[in-house]
Amino acid sequence: MTKLLLIRAVLPLVAGGALLAGCTSTQPGTASPAPSASGAPTQSSSSAGGGGTQSITDPCSLLEMGDLSSYGQFNQPESKTLGGARSCKYQRKIASASDATMMIGVNVRDDASVDQVRDTGGGVADKDINGRRAKEAPDAAAVGCTLGLAVGDSSRVDVAVLLDSSSNEACQIAETVAKAAVEPRLPKG
């Protein structure tokens, strides 16, 4: 019982850090495209024809409450910016002390490629989600998993899952949610 209470107290604190597991460092300054040989600005793949995440205006549009019904009831999603990512977080409702904690997040990273998914201690594995290149990074310390989905060459969308059971189960849930709900809503290209 004490261990369960400790997990419930610590998990929300760790959750924010785990949802940011795929973060990259930032550089100061103002980003601007390099001029082409003719002096005209070039168009990057992240803004050209749906090749990047710029067309995703609301991260919560990539995952809806109904998509999570098989995992229980969830609180209304919370949308905010965390570490440079536009994020939408779903927290499962807890009715009793025996209920397992679960949080599922979608993080839109306009300036971080799928190759920049960080190893948080469990390694990084190549994945294919509905024909889209992806990287999976289990996090044993936070009992979670981040699944980064490529969107163009220089941006990605992460599906992050935190549980109070196992990283393997978190990765299975992340993959299922990504295949069924998130990936089909991503820009093609």
pLDDT of residue 189: 61
pLDDT of residue 15: 43
The answer for residues whose C-beta is within 8 angstroms of residue 116's C-beta and 6 or more apart is: 22, 24, 156
Interval 74-83: pLDDT, tens:
999 999 998 8
Please check the confidence at residue 89 and state whether its pLDDT lies above 90: yes
pLDDT of residue 22: 43
- Cα gap 142→87, rounded to integer Å: 18
Q: pTM for this structure? A: 0.74
CA angle centred on 105, ends 80 and 62, rounded to 5°: 85
Confidence band for 109, pLDDT divided at 50, 70 and 90: very high
Q: How many CB atoms lie within 10 A of CB 90?
A: 23
Q: How many CB atoms lie within 10 A of CB 27?
A: 7
